[in-house]
Amino acid sequence: DAGITQSPRHKVTETGTPVTLRCHQTENHRYMYWYRQDPGHGLRLIHYSYGVKDTDKGEVSDGYSVSRSKTEDFLLTLESATSSQTSVYFCAISGQGDQPQHFGDGTRLSIL
């Protein structure tokens, strides 16, 4: 299994609070991604990173920010959580070229 660890695995918080999710990899892969999974939508890209300090927006980036200060860590932050951000969040990594993406086990986030 690809060395990807997401933390926390579960979180319940209140509307308006800041939330940070962490993705840690041990594969030294260049590319890292954050997706959210919602019923009826499959997975949708939030943000991705193509190197340290290099990030870009995905399809559903509003309300989210990311940071990558080290190759192994990719952080997703909800500055002020809203109920519409209740979802399961997945981190993925991939190497160079046409290598497939490998996924972490997900973080289930509930915003009340």
Partner 1 sequence: GDSVTQMEGPVTLSEEAFLTINCTYTATGYPSLFWYVQYPGEGLQLLLKATKADDKGSNKGFEATYRKETTSFHLEKGSVQVSDSAVYFCALSDRAQAGTALIFGKGTTLSVSS
Buried/exposed code over 32-60 (b: 16+ C-beta within 10 A; e: otherwise): bbbbbeeeeeeeebbbbbeeeeebeebeb
Determine if 106 is a binding residue for partner 1 (CB under 8 A): yes
Shortest distance in whole angstroms from residue 16 CB to partner 1: 29
Nearer to partner 1, 16 or 62 (CB): 62
Q: Phi, psi (5° rounding) for residue 49?
A: -130, 140
Q: How far is the CB of 9 from partner 1 (least distance, A)?
A: 10
Which residues, listed in sequence order, are joined to residue 91 by a DSSP beta bridge?
34
The residue among 14 and 105 lying less far from partner 1, judged by its C-beta, is 105
Number of residues forming the site for partner 1 (CB under 8 A): 25
Does residue 103 contact residue 92 with C-beta atoms inside 8 Å? yes
* Residue 64 binds partner 1 (CB under 8 A): no
Structure tokens at 60: 């559903």
**Core vs surface per residue 14-24: b (16+ CB within 10 A) or e:** eeeeebebebb
Q: Near partner 1 by CB under 8 A, which window of 18-26, 66-74, 75-83, 95-103?
A: 95-103
Stretch that binds partner 1, among 15-23, 60-68, 73-81, 96-104 (CB under 8 A): 96-104
> Site residues (CB under 8 A) for partner 1?
30-31, 33, 40-45, 48, 50, 58, 90, 92, 94, 96-98, 100-106
